[in-house]
A and B are shown apart, each in its own frame.
Chain A
């Protein structure tokens, strides 16, 4: 389980059982041809929705930003990256992301692990009913989750309006103040995301053989000790996976701050996250090279996290054997 995902590729011929070498080779030719034919639609989509846009973004980022005097752009080298890095908002957006991650990630991991352990300790109908309830908000992804939170955060009609007003906030503009944003966003993301991950981690817990628990109870371990000493160490790959996936997710935050800014009539910076900054480069400044450079920076960050997940989480590659 802790082994790296892609073990050194063994040559196909060595693993393939076949009566004679020649038959094996012809078989392999037709097998490979069949495989590529079957994968053709997927590979085409990978090209159109993955490879080409990335290459085109790299190409675009190396162009000069068009100006009114010089509408035709030419090769600009790394100028667009300089534009991004020296933009006064760039480091601020990264700081904002970290301020959200600081609140959200610990809350998320604690919630996922804690609730998954509780669900796992409750076999039968109560446990599965609770697991379902925790999953329900996950169905309200995207804008629906956002409108629900507007309902919660607008003191005028919120069921927790008395609390918000108790803190001296009587309008949604006051609630969505920049200082509160990390907590609000952490709440939104937790609410919509935790349920799915409880199911994933719960799946990991269900994979632990019963004998392990039997042995533990024979040794006189109580339920706390079982959870702490046995379950948590055994589901560590899933916890790491959840942490990294959510970390990557954090870097692309867009919808929530973008729309909060809209309902809070400008209480928040228009470009609060890196994705918003990239969007502004493209759609407000029409500076496509800078927008492309911004996406490449984000791509590199999430690619790094993605590589960590695939190679280090230990969750992928088991089925290779």
Chain B
């Protein structure tokens, strides 16, 4: 960070309220290596204790600190101020889009996690225990497809970025569908029929229009677009076998 910016003032506009509210402006001192989380924390501790926001690990592992920074959903703990500051030298912080707002920068995550369940994004072991351990070689195509999406921590960045979620509140969304795809590729799972049913309703994978914002913004470099494309192919294959 150059001497020209160290110690200068950063203008920060933060959303206050719920769906109705306003932006409140703060001015804080710029420091070297500042992250957006540093900024929000400083504001809450030293300027306005009524500001509500979420964080936990501070080190890019939990996804709790996700919010919209200058128009794009990010993890604030992993976002340097220097990389996102706009042309006017300001930060604009808003809660994640497509979620109901609890207060200020904290959003209601319940519907997001409910959609994980609606998409059958959980392992189905089947009615009876298997006689022995399942052998799943890591290099098999199914396991590689599952592994490509398995690191999702449910932070909501992709869901916030998705235009289709914005247009259709019922759409399951990239995270739920990506999770379903990892399980479609789990050769031990015994609930594939019900899962493909779950992801092929009118709110399912067919609604994705490959805008690819989810893939662009995922902080874990997961590509929900390709997972959803995989689901589309699975649905098509099933349909061509007469299963509409």
Q: Do A and B bind each other?
A: no
